[in-house]
A and B are shown apart, each in its own frame.
Chain A
């Protein structure tokens, strides 16, 4: 196995700047040459800066060693593999440092772990294709409706379960806002934006109307999804196959597609698809309502593992969409599935954050920074906060978070915790029933994940 020639850059700087600075430089140059690599070392001694690294050289570098006991400008190295050591380390073992640098983490990435997670989320959203993309488009537009509606309903329940029955009171209005309006729009929006993703604007009207019909027929969340895809592809087909002369093109989006699209979608739903889907929906809701004991726990384990498996990716989103769907059926009441899924989704970042605190010597400084961000991301139910850790060490991190999330999912189901809103993490605890059990479930999974990782990881 031959070693390819790498470009190694270094910066050396010691406080007095007379001797160690240059000895370290020499050591690195010699070690690089012995390994067949190219090297250039910028020295920052009392003479001043010599051999300053150029932007071009940095861009082409494979790894960078900063052997300094004084401050060295570091921003120029963002995006490259960098190790920072003391001058003495370079003199002692320059060869070892070169090897370490070639495996180093990228500098500057964890400067702001929040930004990195945002970047990953945006990247993933862009990369989605096909049916998954369409579905996720619908779900993401739907979420604010469910969150706002759910919280409004939850607040009204604070006044008492039946308080909303008193007309003209605050709880009554809140219930009307949440249950009557926001929740009523949930499924139409879902269907509408699925169709929008497929067919663009022309899909919106058929999709939303289709969703409304699905609601009326009792086909619920599932019906909304089917209506959305149906409307979307119908609108697409109309756009493609119905060709009008150029002068009449204008009426396509405003007359032809809406009329044909809405009516055909609606009729298909009423005559063909609606009833069977409504039956399936009812059966599923029945099943979930009667779920208890071992079966509930098993579901909790499965959903928990799914939430952690790809931390915001397709599997996680499938579990999440399923959970949100159970909320539409619950119409304001909580759902055990939703509770289990949210708690399980909070565990990966929280467990990793705890691990960076308990097992400091097993994480790099960059990871410890990401750990701090992970606390906040975890309590906000942003599972993606675990991604930086998983990317660096998937074989150890992913099983650990899956186990922890599965534990949390199981415990949450076991204790019958319910949640009536689809997002919010720690900020929606008032929408949780059996909050004590919920906290226990969360804590258990977090601790399990932290210790699993601590056990599996070796010291840095």
Chain B
């Protein structure tokens, strides 16, 4: 499973993007998805530096591809207006953290992630996530193709 209830935080308490990424990485590690948190976070932050992963409309998708990740993962958190250098200048309120191992055995997960990335560009998808009240709701939205 790419994502599950424990990888969803409906009200993450964090102030900066680094803090957000770290806390979400911790969630992933707790779920056994990440072997080396430091390594993973470093990779994600490095990608973040190259080009901000905030895509506008209050959404950010930090991601990292490293063998510090054991299994492909997707984590989600609703945060409270964090500055994320978004192209539209708006603060971020929804964060999708993605992690995939460097050497992937299968591409299924990548396809799912690619799919989610595409859907994030659509207003209705973002609205459904924004309006979701429980972890189950979120899972349902993500599963809907």
Contact = CB atoms under 8 A, between A and B. Distances in A.
**Do A and B form a real pair?**
yes
Interface of A: 14-23, 25-27, 30, 43, 45-48, 69, 86-88, 91-92
A19 B47 CA distance: 12
B10 to A, nearest CB: 22
B114 A20 contact: no
B118 A26 contact: yes
B121 interface: yes
5 cross-chain pairs, A with B, having the tightest CB-CB distances, nearest first: A26-B121, A22-B117, A19-B117, A26-B118, A22-B114
Interface of B: 47, 50-51, 53, 55-56, 61, 63-65, 87, 98, 100, 104, 107, 110-111, 113-115, 117-122
Which has the most chain A C-beta neighbours within 10 Å: B53, B55, B64, B115?
B55
Contact of B111 (A16, A17, A23, A47): A47
18 contacts: A18-B98, A18-B100, A19-B113, A19-B114, A21-B114, A22-B115, A26-B117, A26-B118, A26-B119, A27-B121, A30-B122, A47-B111, A88-B51, A88-B87, A91-B56, A91-B87, A92-B56, A92-B87
Which has the most chain B C-beta neighbours within 10 Å: A23, A25, A26?
A23
A27 B118 CA distance: 8
A144 to B, nearest CB: 58
B61 A19 contact: yes
Given A19-B113, A20-B51, 11 more contacts: A16-B47, A17-B65, A18-B117, A19-B117, A20-B117, A23-B118, A23-B120, A46-B100, A47-B107, A48-B107, A91-B56
B113 to A, nearest CB: 5
A445 B86 CA distance: 49
Contact of A22 (B50, B87, B118): B118
Contacts of B118: 22-23, 25-26
B51 A86 contact: yes
A152 B120 CA distance: 75
